[in-house]
Amino acid sequence: MAQSRNIPPGARQAAPQTPPAAAAPAAPAPAAPGFFKKAMSSKGAKIAGLGALGALGIAVGKPMIERGLGVDKKTLLAEALRQMSAGQNQAAINDASREASDASYRASIQTNLGQIQRYAPDLYMSVAAGRRLPQGAVVIGGSPRQDLLNELGRAMSDGRFSQ
């Protein structure tokens, strides 16, 4: 072998370098021994398993996941229907409660107006006429001012008048 350079006789020559494009890709480093065994025995084993199933595809993985978790389409549908009916039942209960509360409020307004008419007829007639009337006056004709009477009854029901 002809030496063009002065290389000492005991030195080793390096193997010729191949260009990076032609180099073979390096194989990934092997996993530490027992890595998968530890991972599969840990708490995250189910999660890792589910992730692997998800990687298989939704068509294959989803039914397997559902079976693995003990859930199927019938169970999910039944739970959704139960929640929807529970929501509708609660809405119906709320509506009935609101209607009962409104009916009670209207009844208290009418009760208060009846008490005013019995115990203070002059005040009732003045409010119904929409103006001040002399004591003992009787209004002949015209319709009573229901808006003013209802406002007075609501004020009494709300507790704005103590007597």
Mean pLDDT by 10 residues, the chain (163 residues): 57 56 54 54 57 55 60 79 86 90 92 91 89 83 88 88 64
**Pair 137, 125: CB distance under 8 Å:** yes
In a domain, 125, yes or no: yes
In a domain, 90, yes or no: yes
pTM over 0.75: no
In a domain, 57, yes or no: yes
In a domain, 130, yes or no: yes
In a domain, 46, yes or no: no
In a domain, 11, yes or no: no
In a domain, 28, yes or no: no
Indicate the number of domains in the chain: 1
In a domain, 55, yes or no: yes
| Boundaries of domain holding 88 | 51-158
